[in-house]
Structure 1
Amino acid sequence: MIFLTKYIIITGGVVSSIGKGITSASIGRILRSYGLKVGAIKIDPYLNRDSGTLNPYQHGEVFVTYDGMECDLDLGHYERFLDVELPGVSNITTGKVYQSVIDKERKGEFLGACVQIIPHITDEIKSMVRKTSGIEDYDVVLIELGGTVGDIESQPFLEALRQLRNEEGHDNVMFVHVTFIPYLNAAGEFKTKPTQHSTKELRSTGINPDMIVCRSQEPIDEDFKRKIAHFCDVAPNAVVNAPDAPSIYEIPLTLANEDVGKFVADRINLDVDNESADLDQWKTTVKSLQKQDPVVTIAIIGKYIELEDSYISIRESLLHAAAEVGVKLDLKYISSDIDELNQNELKSLDGILIPGGFGERGVEGKLDAVEYAIVNELPIFGICLGMHSMVIQYARRNNMEDANSTEFNKDTNFPVIDLMEEQKKIKDMGGTMRLGSYDCKLIVDTKAYNSYNSKSVPNDEKQIEERHRHRYEFNNEFKDKLQEAGLVISGVSPDDFLVEIVELPDHPWFLGCQFHPEFKSRPNKAHPLFVSFMDAAAKYSKNNK
């Protein structure tokens, strides 16, 4: 039996950062409500092979898949909205495509042919799309093309996707074009021209959009939709409005109210009952995210705070946890890249989260935050470099005055954080990384064990699986000394060699983990460590306000 996957291709027009990823994920959430198996692909037209070496200020956070691929942050949206785990091949980049084609050319696979954009590059793009589609036998695969229609780097992808439609058949592929509808205060009206021009640009590539999703600051009316339909040559019910919303998780409900599910199902002949869509659970989730009190104030203390997308998965995980605990999150961003943290600002907090990162800049500010949390018994959660900061500061408090990571000081007398010996010989950027899912053994009767067993892990389960992205590890040479000083190692690799979680038993909530739990949190299934942390912060808030 030949399994036939349907494709929904999402392009963007007018401006970048328009919300294609959220639109794609929302359409996917609606299709999942029919009981369909939905996958997603993000195409990034940059030449980097992956997102691993990109500065967070350039591209936001780096999302890591279970199989260890460093990807665009939109993969995180897809996983959270669809409640799936996507493979690394779900992120296609220009770098991956060209590298694959050149490798084939070097091996002589093209039999001496002149390698060209068409057919070799476009064929490779289609091959990558189909490979991803076949991994899980998806009913529907969403394909989001990054950038804006008209960008020169997107042209080979648009051509490949046009060919994909012709090869797979009109009834199996549809195009959704996401555009921006500006409102001119001086004129007192929305304007359709940018959408008209963007759609014309897309049609010049041989692609006619089947649906146009209009992003706007405020809702647009039916007359305005009909005008867009007329000038952009689509059906009136194919023009959908997605105005700004208080929460991204409301967008699936907005699109569902516009009958997007029915339109998509009819357009690509999905074998579903339009009455069977069940978004009740999603509605309950959205409602829980709208709680207004009590307020719990958490600060992310890091060095990339100017761009909130640098910590987007952490932000969303905190929101998920707040909803589960039944509180409203008041999230602050505090720069660690300063001479001294503002003590008055720290006094207003109910919890501190120190995120991951690379490089020495901002580390001393993170260490100051750890010290404040210890002295004032303020709940604190450290992730990756955040855990390193907790270990370093705790060591300094216990007769290891210049304790440090060799990432920051190779000559420290107390390298409590260090590269493993087998990593030191690797020179390529990324080659020393521990990436993807690894098992972690929980130590019974610890805060970590109790956190997991209270929610998502059966009580007789002592092993979890979490995603990693780091180079440096807890240095086992100092394990005994730090444990004697009171540090509890509550999670280790199955062979007992690598330290995964540390905590302090006599502190309200002092826990650091080597892995990145934020990558597995879902709006309807908050990560247990975030829930436990938020619960501790809520109790701190209640007792201190």
Structure 2
Amino acid sequence: MTRFIFITGGVVSSLGKGLASAALGAVLQARGYKVRLRKLDPYLNVDPGTMSPTQHGEVYVTDDGAETDLDLGHYERFTGVPSRRSDNVTTGKIYSNVLAKERRGDYLGGTVQVIPHVTDAIKTFVLSDVEDEDFMLIEIGGTVGDIEGLPFLEAIRQLGNELGPQRTLFVHLTLLPYIPTAGELKTKPTQHSVKELLSVGIQPDILMCRADRPIPDGERRKIALFCNVPYENVIPALDVGSIYEVPISYHQEKLDIQVLKHFGIEAAPVVDLSRWERVTERVAKPEGEVTIAVVGKYTSLLDSYKSLAEAMTHGGIANNVKVRLEWMDATIFEKEDAAYHLENVSGILIPGGFGERGAEGKIKAAQFARERKVPFLGICFGMQMAVIEAARNMAGLENASSSEFGPTDEPLVGIMTEWLQGNTLVRRNANDDLGGTMRLGAYECHLKEGSLVREVYGKERIFERHRHRYEVNINYREKLEEAGLMFSGMSPDGVLPEIVENPDHPWFIGVQFHPELKSKPFDPHPLFTAFVKAAVDRSRLV
């Protein structure tokens, strides 16, 4: 019997509901239970694929090709359970489905309303694609009181009644702010948040209270009294040194015990948090430090590169070093000498992106890495810029560019018009809608024998997640390889370049996919492990 845990948030946004949900899932896993996590997003976009990363953060891509909220990255990194298309839905997607059914006449002429039609669609989503999981953790985006979130709150309220308390649990995450002039934590915001939740018919079973310091016993009892929650179900969610300490912290505060108690499950005496203890030990006590420059274009909001930053931390964990990231806006290299900013770093990473802004700066950063023999990793757009740099400065193609930036005589990078997805031929053109039309999801790649990347992965075939509309032009392969750039990873049909590397360089790799999406703290991705090791080796030589 699958049990459903609904996680809501109040007071302010960015409290960390996604992280809290993921950490709770990890603790339940440590007790031997099978978990899955989902996210209900109230915004009207069908998915976050067309949203600006500087507004909403990164777009997380699943193996089956869904563009989803970045919280699904937390879910995967903490539980290791691959997310699916069925694990994220938005108001836009729900309304699209409801309106499509109305147009088909599925409602038999009835008046279509938020209740019951929209709420029924939400409930169907929550209950669908559930297998043998012990617990389904469902996070509701936004904060209680947002008008956009009301249909979702109503839907989970109804599910609470329909499934009963033996199968549903409501967890509410709130803030206890510390007021320096008063010298105390204030409980009133939490009280008001719970009152708002009660106004839509939901009584929280467990309160998780975010605070930057220990919560006095008196305040916990006050919250329990005013919010109608048992004292032991008021759980401190305190700031910790690393996000990977959160599962351990929750267990110490007995969150998992109270969750199981609610469902009438006797907590097993053995809890295996050893992998989190190993991870936090490595994070807290590294044996060294290495500095790596990330030359991007969305550096004003670091959530734009959330999975990337975590994957670099994982590479540090694997090498027992702290990775210090220097975030650099690519446009500065279009005005200033790259050497001024990159002289003292031990590695250079150019991440994905879209559009012409900052492209020339990324090309100059790739040139610096190649000429100065600095370990280099280019991801997606970063790989494309490294190939354009090689074409211009190694193969003599001075006008090499990307058709993404406009008409060009040397389209080293061009829009993809067709590719194989399994046994299906997918076709696209420049006039297609932007949403959901890229090459999305996990695709197979064959690695060249004797290449560096083959050594890094330790196998010949890999499956990595993609999210791109433009691809390196295979027609330039011969010229580029004659100039010294190796095409070391290709699609199974040999048509799409997936990986390039420079054999005359200590460590220079560009990949068309996004390896950061599969990295986990207890299972670091081999590319980031090898990249950080190369940076560490360079730092010891300099």
TM-score (norm 1): 0.95
Q: What does residue 127 of structure 2 align with? A: 130
Offset at residue 162 of structure 1 (A) = 0.4
Offset at residue 332 of structure 1 (A) = 1.1
Q: Give 2:454's match in structure 1, choosing from 424, 436, 449.
A: 449
- Supply the AA of the counterpart residue of 1:441: H
- Supply the AA of the counterpart residue of 2:318: E
CA distance in 1 between counterparts of 2:337 and 2:511 reads 23
C-alpha spacing 1:390/1:342, structure 2 compared with 1 (3 Å): closer
Q: What does residue 456 of structure 1 align with? A: none
CA distance in 2 between counterparts of 1:493 and 1:137 reads 35
Q: What does residue 422 of structure 2 align with? A: none
The alignment yields a C-alpha RMSD, in angstroms, of 1.2
- Supply the AA of the counterpart residue of 1:127: T
Q: What does residue 176 of structure 1 align with? A: 171
CA distance in 1 between counterparts of 2:270 and 2:65 reads 36
Alignment of 1:31-180 (within 5 A): 31-132=28-129, 134=130, 136-180=131-175
1:105-164 Cα distance to aligned partner (Å, 9 max, x none): 1111111110001100000000001114x2x33111111011010111111110100001
- Supply the AA of the counterpart residue of 1:427: D
Aligned partner of residue 33 in structure 2, secondary structure: coil
Is residue 2:221 matched to residue 1:231?
A: no
Q: What does residue 537 of structure 1 align with? A: 535
Q: What does residue 424 of structure 1 align with? A: 429
Offset at residue 344 of structure 1 (A) = 2.8
**8 Å CA contact 2:415, 2:430 repeated in 1:** no
Q: Give 1:473's match in structure 2, choosing from 471, 493, 501.
A: 471
CA distance in 1 between counterparts of 2:264 and 2:135 reads 11
C-alpha spacing 1:431/1:152, structure 2 compared with 1 (3 Å): closer
CA distance in 1 between counterparts of 2:153 and 2:319 reads 45
**8 Å CA contact 2:293, 2:347 repeated in 1:** yes
Aligned partner of residue 170 in structure 1, secondary structure: coil
The percent identity for this pair of structures is 50
Aligned partner of residue 285 in structure 1, secondary structure: helix
Offset at residue 276 of structure 1 (A) = 2.3
C-alpha spacing 1:288/1:478, structure 2 compared with 1 (3 Å): same
CA distance in 2 between counterparts of 1:65 and 1:477 reads 30
Is residue 2:303 matched to residue 1:326?
A: no
Q: What does residue 423 of structure 2 align with? A: none
**8 Å CA contact 2:286, 2:320 repeated in 1:** no
Is residue 2:194 matched to residue 1:199?
A: yes
CA distance in 2 between counterparts of 1:269 and 1:39 reads 20
Is residue 2:367 matched to residue 1:362?
A: no
Is residue 2:195 matched to residue 1:190?
A: no
Q: What does residue 303 of structure 1 align with? A: 297
**8 Å CA contact 1:341, 1:369 repeated in 2:** no
**8 Å CA contact 1:219, 1:242 repeated in 2:** no
Q: What does residue 519 of structure 1 align with? A: 517
Aligned partner of residue 159 in structure 1, secondary structure: helix
Q: What does residue 438 of structure 2 align with? A: 433
CA distance in 2 between counterparts of 1:427 and 1:436 reads 19
**8 Å CA contact 2:338, 2:364 repeated in 1:** no
**8 Å CA contact 1:340, 1:365 repeated in 2:** no
Q: Give 2:208's match in structure 1, choosing from 213, 216, 232.
A: 213
Offset at residue 432 of structure 1 (A) = 4.0
Flag structure 1 segments of 5+ consecutive residues without an equivalent: 454-460
- Supply the AA of the counterpart residue of 1:39: R
**8 Å CA contact 1:341, 1:365 repeated in 2:** no
Flag structure 2 segments of 5+ consecutive residues without an equivalent: 419-427
TM-score (norm 2): 0.96
Offset at residue 426 of structure 1 (A) = 4.5
C-alpha spacing 1:349/1:393, structure 2 compared with 1 (3 Å): same
Q: What does residue 457 of structure 1 align with? A: none
